[in-house]
Structure 1
Amino acid sequence: MNERSTDHTTITIERHFKAPLPRVFNAWAIPEQKQRWFACSGDWTQLDFQLDFRTGGSESNRTASTNGVVHAYQARYVDVVPNERFIYAFDMMLDDIRISVSLATVSFEPEPGGTKMTFVEQVVFLDGYGDNGSRLMGTEIGFDNLRLFVEADDTRAN
């Protein structure tokens, strides 16, 4: 029998983007846009991606790392207020092993020259999974990709 355990932590990341708030929000909300930036490794293989960004909607993303491990993300959107905030619950799996369950809140505020985004994730790592900071690192990489995406071209339509 495997030993069961829980390890709770909270991750808070604040980012400032030189892009209008609707562009930053839409990068999360529009499937074609989110799929372009929502990855922490460009050499992984996309297996499946679906996004229904609305209160009660869901998202799934499955990728395979270069060593063949399948990383699966499954989310449910609990609350969506356009251009202000959204809250979602999600779990992460490596192959068939659930490694974590999280509740995340992403809020947006306009500021001079752009948008302030605040991300707060309350995560529980399961059954001895040793994260060692990789969730924070992967999330930071994703937000670096988000920055590149939303700041790429001010004339691009949302």
Structure 2
Amino acid sequence: MSARSTDHTTITIERHFKAPLSRVFNAWAIPEHKQQWFACHGEWKQLDFQLDFRSGGSESNRTAATDGVVHAYEARYIDVIQNERFIYAFDMMLDEVRISVSLATVSFAPEPGGTKMTFVEQVVFLDGYSDSGSRLMGTEIGFDNLRLYVEGDNGRPN
């Protein structure tokens, strides 16, 4: 039996987009929009995606890496305030092994020429999983894709 452990960290990312607040918010909220930017690895194969973006709703995203490992993301939306913020809890799994559990808050504010978005993730890595910064890196890549999407490139950014 493997040793049980928890490793807590917080990730905070602030981004400024040259796009209206409603466009940035809807990029998260509308399934067809989110699918355009959410992946952080363009060469991975999409297996399943479902999004019910509302308080009490859920999201499921499963992809297969080039080595065949299935990356699963299961989220539960706790609080959604249109064009202001949303809070959600989510699990990340590699194949059938849960590697982390997180609580995330995403807030939005209009600013001259666009939108300020602040993302805060409180994450617990489980049972010796060594993240080595890959969560932050993957999230940053996803937000780079979000920028491409909301600032005018409606095609898949990756």
SS at match of 1:99: strand
Distance 2:152 2:137 in 1: 22
What is the Cα-based RMSD across aligned positions, in Å? Answer: 0.9
Look up the match of 1:119: 119
Offset of residue 153 of structure 1:
5.6
SS at match of 1:135: helix
Distance 2:68 2:153 in 1: 35
SS at match of 1:66: coil
Structure 2, unmatched stretches of 5+, are none
Look up the match of 1:40: 40
The code of the aligned residue for 1:143 comes to F
Offset of residue 2 of structure 1:
1.0
Correspondence 1:5-154 to 2 at 5 A: 5-152=5-152
Structure 1, unmatched stretches of 5+, are none
Per the normalisation by structure 1, the TM-score is: 0.96
SS at match of 1:71: strand
Instruction: Tell me how many residue pairs correspond in the alignment.
Output: 154
Q: Deviations over 1:67-123 (max 9, x none)?
A: 000000000000000000000000000000000000000000000000000000000
Offset of residue 48 of structure 1:
0.0
The code of the aligned residue for 1:6 comes to T
The alignment-based identity, stated in percent, is: 85
